[in-house]
A and B are shown apart, each in its own frame.
Chain A
Amino acid sequence: MSSNIVLKRGLNIPIKGAADRKVLRKVEPGLVAVNPTVFKGLVPRLLVREGDPVAAGSPVLMDKDRPGILLTSPVSGTVKEIVRGEKRRLLAVLIESDGKGTAVDFGACNPAALSREEAAALLLKSGLWGGIISRPYGVVADPEAAPKAIFISAFSTAPLAPDTEFTLGDDAEAVQAGVRLLSRLTDGGVHLCLNAATYSASPFHKIEGAIVHTVSGPHPAGNVGVQISHISPIRRGETVWTVPVQIVAAMGRLVLSGKLSLMRKIALTGPAAEEPAYIEALPGTPVADLVKPEGNVRIIDGDVLSGTILGADGFTGLFTDQITLIREGREKEYFGWAKPFRPKLFSSSPCYFSWLTPRKKYDMDTNLHGGPRAFVETKCFSDVTPMDIFPIYLIKACLAGEIEKMEKFGIYEVLPEDLALCDYVDPSKNDIQAIIASGIDLMIKEMA
């Protein structure tokens, strides 16, 4: 049932700072954080105290509502500090690594021989269950639920996204084992989406036990949400799970070696990155160990479209495979909008002349390039959303908080990241992703 999906709508943003295919260095773990804030729908409860010894794979936090879901330590060492924010919200558990590399042994096994319960139990106690994202709404998957299918996008089209063929090229065996493990969790099968352009050379194209699809087109063709909507759109009441390919590899390493091993290549990208390339590090590594940018630079966990802002004292999370650095654009520009040419800026709109230089890469910054306005030009939204929905109607339904309309216009099929390009292209400078996120929060509240 494999298929080739050709997408036409979308936009590749020509931003400078793609990572070279080389590993600069490996960050030896010192202080490592277990970071619960990156898991949507998870309320963390502490399982350790300051001073407790932990091994790689021992539980540190669990979900309050679904106690089976554990978050585990990526290193061995001692719990150094429990960081809380406003209203005592748990932000991170800091673990001082002892460098010994002691790890909990979960037992190497043949994933194909496991039952559904065994497979789920292994993922739950190893702390990798949190890497399974459930749609609609993009929350941590419910271990009791029966998903329609599991989707994995083996590539990303986001701006400056890491090249999975480089980061996981040597790990194809682990990805294979991870796919086999995941296929135990659903009767609907595991769908693996590959980049049509590099399909034949991809280290993943021989993977068995998954339904392989090839996808071509500009961003967001690599977004798993867009792929799902073309393969098997989500109906009301249905659930599908998605797992980032990075986590699939970690699941594979878990069943192959019996140990939790989260070391990965993180792409250091962006126009403000001094030497864009890869760094090997654990999730939970302090930002300061990865980058030390000078000047007024924004550090983003993820890509420039839907990543989150990390402070200079922040920590990466389980999903981090890219750090993007861009300048804060606080300069004012005289007669900016009235100048016939603004060669330093990119615009996807023919109102400017970027189309004359299709190969140019731009040094982009965080300037909004205008002020917030009411929606005027709305065709641009559907031009960058290759899904069978009317983005502007979905956005307006979210703004109005109308559950029934949000359902009809496809709220089950999208996460904010799938409409991230609408943020980018909107001449009225609305925060579309924030609007969609508030709509999703409302759905969670009302449908609970």
Chain B
Amino acid sequence: MAEENNTPRPGLFEKGGKLGWLHSTVDAFETFLRVPGTVTRKGAHIRDAVDLKRVMIIVVIALVPAALFGMWNTGYQTSTLYGLGWGFWMCFWKGFLRVLPLYIVSYIVGLGIEFASSQIRDEEVNEGYLVTGMLIPLIVPVDVPLWMLALAVAFAVIFGKEVFGGTGMNIWNPALLARAFLFFSYPSKMSGSEVWIHAPKGVDAVSGATPLALASEGGVSALSGDASLWHLFLGDIPGSVGETSAIAILLGAVILIWTGVASWKIMVSSVAGALLVGWLGCLGGATDVPAYYQLVLGGFLFGTVFMATDPVTSAQTECGKWIYGFLVGALAVTVRLFNPGYAEGMMLAILLMNTFAPLIDHCVVSASISRREKRIRTA
């Protein structure tokens, strides 16, 4: 990047230069390595040190415990189910080797599309995909074929985000959209009891149902032994890569709440919604699983902490966040209790509430405006 005053000709990668069509890409790497020397022109002359890159990297850091645990758990589940007797590090290493390709595919496909569309729009590359790319491998079964994952990522990024104008403009959480794409296009790879645990080569896949599916069929009595409350909390159970461990997710939640990146209001109200519907379900005889089990089963906690709180697709008003979060939790458990075909409801609950978040905000804002007008009239 040249200084303003002493460049008679545009540089190689600048607009008008030979490789000018690459300038978004080059700028992206440049600003990734160094904070640019841009100064304020209008408005406040000084600016806070925080930028979107920092906000996004905080989310990525908050996801690390869940990702690391997911890697270990992937190895551990295989080792346990097939009686391989791997040690701790061996479990982690084998799991790492399984999860790494998911990450590589997620980032290469996603970032590639992100860079290309930024170039087409002639904008700086947004950092939103850093988080989306980190999330997607954590919410799919570990054995999902890589080409399916690539297709889902491409769909989510192009139709979930770029067509709306990129990061900050999207209606639905792109990571969940990728999962929904997989779920509806390739249900055999996304549900059932054979997809959750990686089978070593040459061995027939053995059934390894998730505790959520067990509870859906057998009620609370099915949740014992390896699927007891303690194991659900710890996370050494079958499930999507990153969603199993409540402890790891709660670590991430602490980071997100402390830094203010994610709204604690959404998390708290989502938990409240789930508990309420879970309790009503117990009371009405729809299930015999106590309400608090709903919090540690399936993807509820992961969705509540990392997906429902996405600042772009959730409600924007503080009052709206309470309503939005509550409905996410309530809907998720409702689907779990009353949908016989599919045990998990978190994904659809969040996507549905993403759709309704602007409506919630609209109601909150309209109510506030009429209250305000009344106040001013009497003032």
Q: Which residues of chain A have a CB within 8 Å of any CB of chain B?
A: 13, 15, 159, 232-233, 235, 298, 300, 304-307, 309, 324, 326, 328-338, 342, 345-352, 354, 364-379, 382, 388, 390, 392-393, 408-410, 416, 420-421, 423-429, 431-434
Contacts and interface: CB of A to CB of B under 8 A. Distances in A.
Contact of A350 (B31, B36, B260, B375): B260
Contacts of A410: 372
B145 interface: no
A423 B46 CA distance: 9
10 contacts: A232-B379, A305-B44, A337-B35, A338-B57, A349-B260, A350-B258, A351-B50, A366-B45, A390-B365, A432-B43
Contacts of A331: 37
B42 A424 contact: no
Given A305-B45, A371-B124, 19 more contacts: A159-B46, A300-B45, A326-B45, A351-B50, A351-B58, A351-B261, A366-B39, A368-B40, A369-B49, A369-B51, A371-B38, A377-B55, A390-B317, A409-B369, A420-B43, A420-B44, A424-B44, A428-B168, A432-B43
A347 B48 contact: yes
Given A368-B39, A369-B35, A374-B167, A346 B53 contact: no
A334 B261 contact: no
Nearest to B53: A337
Contact of A377 (B41, B311, B375): B311
B115 to A, nearest CB: 15
Contact of A427 (B36, B55, B369): B55
B53 A423 contact: no
What 7 pairs across the A-B complex have the smallest Cβ distances? A370-B51, A374-B168, A336-B35, A423-B44, A345-B49, A433-B43, A347-B49
A349 B48 contact: yes
A334 B49 contact: no
Contacts of A426: 47-48
B259 A351 contact: yes
B169 to A, nearest CB: 6
A424 B43 CA distance: 9
Interface string B115-141: 000000000101010000000000000
A231 to B, nearest CB: 9
A351 B55 contact: yes
A423 B50 contact: no
User: Interface size bucket, B side?
Assistant: 35 or more
B312 interface: yes
Interface string B39-74: 111111111111111110110000000000000000
Contact of B42 (A13, A427, A434): A434
Contacts of B167: 373-374, 376
B157 to A, nearest CB: 15
B316 A373 contact: no
Contacts of A431: 41-43
Contacts, number: 190
Interface of B: 31, 33-55, 57-58, 124, 126, 128, 165-169, 258-261, 263, 311-312, 316-318, 365, 368-369, 372, 375-377, 379
Interface of A is mostly: loop
A369 to B, nearest CB: 5
Contact of A367 (B38, B50, B57, B369): B38
B48 A427 contact: yes
A272 to B, nearest CB: 12
B114 to A, nearest CB: 13
A425 B49 CA distance: 9
Nearest to B40: A366
B34 A329 contact: no
A398 B58 CA distance: 31
Nearest to B265: A379
A129 B46 CA distance: 32
Given A233-B379, A330-B39, A390-B368, A348 B34 contact: no
Given A368-B38, A376-B312, A15 B46 contact: yes
Contacts of B375: 233, 388
Contacts of A347: 48-50
B34 A376 contact: no
B48 A334 contact: no
B46 A365 contact: yes
Task: Pick the most buried of B53, B54, B126: most chain A CB atoms within 10 A of its CB.
Answer: B54
B127 to A, nearest CB: 8
A372 to B, nearest CB: 7
Given A333-B34, A369-B35, A376-B167, A428 B43 contact: no
Contacts of A305: 44-46
Nearest to B28: A371
Contacts of A324: 45
A393 B318 CA distance: 13
Given A235-B376, A376-B168, A423-B44, A349 B34 contact: no
Given A367-B35, A374-B167, A376-B168, A427 B45 contact: no
Contacts of B53: 337-338, 370
Nearest to B312: A376
A439 B121 CA distance: 26
